[in-house]
Amino acid sequence: MGDHAVQLDSKTLWGGKESPFSTSYGKLMMWFFLVSDALTFTGLLIAYGYTRHAAQAAWPIGEETFNSMPFLGHGYPLLYVALMTFILIVSSVTMVLAVEAGHRMDKKGVIKWMIATIIGGFFFVGSQAWEWSHFIHGSEFGKIELADGSQAIVRGHFGEIENFTVVQAGSHLKVGSVVTSDLLHQFQHAAETGGLFKSTEMVNNLKNQKDIIAALKVDTAGKVGAKATQDNLKNKLAGLKKDLEAIKSKSSNNGVIILHDGSIAKINKKADEHLILITKKSGSKYKVGDKPIEGKKASELYYTSLQEGVQNKVVYGANLKQNEYGPQQYGQFFFFITGFHGFHVFSGVIINIIICIGVVMGTYHKRGHYEMVEKTGLYWHFVDLVWVFVFTFFYLL
């Protein structure tokens, strides 16, 4: 290899017209860009690591969050992310083969391997879009606030909702009507807005309490018998509160839901399986880092809180304001860092398509070299390498 080295004298070396490493201007500028981009990702990952260290046990781990496969549902921790990573690494191999074919001036070989690289890139970008969608919508259970003020994420198999059977008519639905469409969405919406209860008896009790409280706020000063009326209402309210405690203590299968028209319907739902509560925010009783709550106790705690008829007891999915999986910052870092990397991959795919068109048209073959393919390859390898670190930080650690 030393026999083929280019020997440059001192005058040529420092004359400004020759590269000491025989590297073209274009490749040198690509390296400058990649180094600066690497520093950007480094800063983001350091910030992520610092924030995660401060959160400690409240921070979610990969297999808790990313455990789904398209068309197969839950129960496959990190499997789809591993497949995405494998495809991206394979695309880096096909890019190497495209560059190698270019060195041999094999136009067909360059086209073949670049198309394979482009397909791999599109698969990764599409998969990342699916991951984002799943992350945003969240699980069927959500993150629940328990009676002691603690917050817990829920793992397990969510029993299928079969239908809602109306037991108290509303403005549109009659008693006995069966609702069979958009069940999970209606269930989750009711959970978020305080529309789930243990029983119809509980709904009516709370409605009567609300009416009495409204009546007590009416100014009756100076009216005959006002004090007696007020005392009577207070006694009724106390009795309703006592009755409510008895209602809450009764066992309930699936509870009832208040539908969009104000009707009350019984929830016909299959039993959940393997329910586990993992505390992510400490309360007066349950603390972050405690042993997960499992089985019947987990189910009782979850549905007791869910069926209180109180708003904002449960959070589904993640956005920039709330996060089912753990601290709010987790979602913010996930969207920014994986989105930033996804933008790099998408840009790389577009660049590869443009260069591949040039190869098909014979532009680089006429030049006598395929250096543009090599420069594109440098960028693609960088994108793959960065994903290894992102994958490690977000999914494995």
pLDDT of residue 344: 93
Q: Tell whether the model's pLDDT for residue 366 goes beyond 80.
A: yes
In this predicted structure, the answer to whether residue 38 has a pLDDT above a threshold of 90 is yes
The number of residues making up the chain comes to 397
9: in domain: no
Number of structural domains (the chain) is: 2
Q: How confident is the model at residue 36 (pLDDT cuts 50, 70, 90)?
A: very high
On whether both 127 and 250 belong to a single domain, the answer is no
Average pLDDT of span 338-344: 93
**Within-domain flag for 208:** yes
Same domain, 353 and 290: no
Regarding whether 275 and 154 lie in a shared domain, the answer is: yes
Q: Are residues 84 and 156 in the same domain?
A: no
The reported pLDDT for the residue numbered 39 is 94
Residue 198's domain spans which residues?
Answer: 143-315
Q: What is the pTM of this model?
A: 0.75
Instruction: Give the pLDDT of residue 308.
Output: 85
The per-residue pLDDT for 329 is: 85
Residues 210 and 69 reside in one and the same domain: no
What is the band of 14 on the pLDDT scale with cuts at 50, 70, 90? low
Is 105 among the domain residues? yes
Q: Which of 315, 336, 354 marks a domain boundary?
A: 315
Percent of the chain with pLDDT over 70: 90
Domain harbouring 87, CATH code: 1.20.120.80
**The residue type at 11:** K
pLDDT in tens, 204-258: 888 888 888 887 777 555 554 566 777 787 888 788 788 777 777 776 768 888 8
Q: 14-28, 191-205, 332-346, 350-364: lowest mean pLDDT where?
A: 14-28
Looking at residues 368-376, what average pLDDT do you find?
Answer: 86
Mean of the pLDDT values across residues 68-89? 83
Task: Report the pLDDT averaged over residues 119-133.
Answer: 92
HEC readout, the chain? CHHHCCCCCHHHHCCCCCCCCCCCHHHHHHHHHHHHHHHHHHHHHHHHHHHHHHHHHHCCCHHHHCCEECCCEECCCCHHHHHHHHHHHHHHHHHHHHHHHHHCCCHHHHHHHHHHHHHHHHHHHHHHHHHHHHHHHCCCCCEEECCCCCEEEEEEECCCEEEEEEEECCCCCCCCCEECCCHHHHHHHHHHHCCEECCHHHHHHHHHHHHHHHHHCCCCCCCCCHHHHHHHHHHHHHHHHHHHHHHHHCCCCCCEEECCCCCEEEEEECCCEEEEEEEEECCCCCCCCCCCEEHHHHHHHHHHHHCECCCCCEECCECCCCECCCCHHHHHHHHHHHHHHHHHHHHHHHHHHHHHHHHHCCHHHHHCCCHHHHHHHHHHHHHHHHHHHHHHHHHHC
Averaged pLDDT score across all residues of the chain = 84
Looking at the structure, do residues 60 and 105 belong to the same domain, yes or no?
yes
Predicted local distance difference test score (pLDDT) of residue 95 = 93
pLDDT tops 70 at residue 334: yes
Query: Residue 81 above 80 pLDDT?
Result: yes
Are both 52 and 125 inside the same structural domain? yes
Residue ending a domain, choose from 281, 315, 349: 315
Q: What pLDDT does 117 receive?
A: 94
pLDDT tens digits, 259-300:
888 898 999 988 888 888 988 888 889 888 889 998 889 988
| 12 assigned to some structural domain | no
For residue 2, pLDDT beyond 70: no
User: Is 185 a member of any domain?
Assistant: yes
Report the distance separating Cα 170 and Cα 258, nearest Å.
Answer: 9
One domain, residues 173 and 301: yes
- Give residue 330's pLDDT: 86
pLDDT of residue 86: 93
Q: Are residues 134 and 243 in the same domain?
A: no
320 in any annotated domain: no
Rounded average pLDDT over 300-309: 87
Residue 295 lies in a domain: yes
For 221-235, the pLDDT digits (tens) are: 555 456 677 778 788
- The pLDDT of 353-369, averaged and rounded, is 87
pLDDT at residue number 114: 93
In percent, the amount of the chain with pLDDT more than 90 equals 22
Domain termination residue (choose one: 263, 280, 315): 315
What pLDDT does residue 18 have?
Answer: 56
30 found inside a domain? yes
For residue range 166-201, list pLDDT tens digits in order: 988 888 888 888 888 889 989 988 888 888 988 888
- Which of the residue ranges 9-13, 226-230, 393-397 has the most confident prediction, judged by mean pLDDT? 393-397
Q: 253 with 268, same domain?
A: yes
pLDDT bin (cut points 50, 70, 90) of residue 380 is very high
Tell me, yes or no, whether 98 and 215 share the same domain. no
What is the mean pLDDT of the segment spanning 50-79? Answer: 78
Residue-level pLDDT at 223: 58
> In this structure, are 345 and 379 located in the same domain?
yes
